[in-house]
Amino acid sequence: METIEVVVARIGKPHGLRGEVTVDVRTDEPERRFVRGAQLRAEAPKGSAFPHRRLTVERARWHQQTLLLTFAELADRTAAETARGVVLHATIGLEDTPDDPDEYYDHQLIGLAAHDLDGTHLGTVEGLLHGGAQDLLVIRALDRRETLVPFVAALVPEVDLAGGRVVIADRPGLVAPLPDED
């Protein structure tokens, strides 16, 4: 089975004295990624002396709007403080799909052909930008320009993974302007 790594969180400040930390969640599936026993690759910030390459989830709980995690390797507040800024990665199979049929992993979308509502080829999905308000599809247009399309149902009404395409609605900027005729 082929696998890839996806970023699922970034560790914030310690919470309490027993090694619990706050995390900035970067996954739509925290209940799936932060189960007891889950092994996550730890990517420390440049210049950090954080000693662990992997962290094992012992406990996950929500406190108001914040996810708190306890890791086997972080026994106390001092150890938790050294983890601040560490980015956590989960390994998933390429054939894995999100629980919600209207959600997609980045790797499922990258490489899909982008077409308009009439079926005209517009370009290729080259990536995604994850923002606070919404995600953006990065489309490489046929003239090689990079264009951003908000990844919302009104503008991307169809994602056809089996057919290898996405449908883009109402994005005239994706079509290269015709050269002026004299």
For residue 156, give both structure tokens.
């991307």
CATH for the 3-93 domain, from 2.30.110.10, 2.40.30.60, 3.40.190.10, 3.80.10.10: 2.40.30.60
CATH number for the domain whose boundaries are 106-174? 2.30.30.240
What is the pLDDT, as a whole number, of residue 102?
Answer: 77
Alpha carbon 2 to chain centroid distance? 18
| Residue 54, pLDDT above cutoff 70 | yes
Q: What 8-state DSSP symbol labels residue 80?
A: H
What is the pLDDT, as a whole number, of residue 100?
Answer: 74
Average pLDDT, the chain: 88
d(CA 64, CA 106): 29
Q: What share of the chain in percent tops pLDDT 70?
A: 92
For residue 86, give both structure tokens.
């560490």
Size (the chain), residues: 182
What is the pLDDT, as a whole number, of residue 173?
Answer: 59
Which pLDDT tens digit goes with each residue over 56-97? Answer: 999 999 999 999 999 999 999 999 999 999 999 999 887 777
The pTM is what?
0.68
What is the pLDDT, as a whole number, of residue 182?
Answer: 46
Phi and psi at residue 129, in whole multiples of 5°? -110, 125
Q: Name, in order, each residue with C-beta under 8 angstroms of 37's C-beta and a sequence gap of 6 or more.
A: 56, 57
First to last CA, the chain: 57
Find where tokens 């889950």 sit: 38
Looking at per-residue pLDDT, the higher value among 53 and 177 belongs to 53
Which pLDDT tens digit goes with each residue over 91-132? Answer: 988 777 777 777 888 888 999 999 999 999 999 999 988 776
Residue ranges of alpha helices (H) inside the chain are 30-33, 77-82, 106-109
Find where tokens 């930008």 sit: 129
Q: Which residues of 160-176 are buried (b: 16+ CB within 10 A; e: fewer)?
A: eeeeebbbbeebeebee
Per-residue confidence band for 178, with pLDDT thresholds at 50, 70 and 90: very low
What is the pLDDT, as a whole number, of residue 172?
Answer: 61
| Residue 25, pLDDT above cutoff 80 | yes
Find where tokens 């080829």 sit: 121
> How many helices and strands in the chain, by DSSP H and E?
3, 12
User: DSSP string spanning 132-164?
Assistant: SS-EEEEEEETTS-EEEEE-STTT--EEETTTT
Q: What share of the chain in percent tops pLDDT 90?
A: 63
**In the chain, domain spans:** 3-93, 106-174
What is the pLDDT, as a whole number, of residue 10?
Answer: 95
Amino acid at 151: F
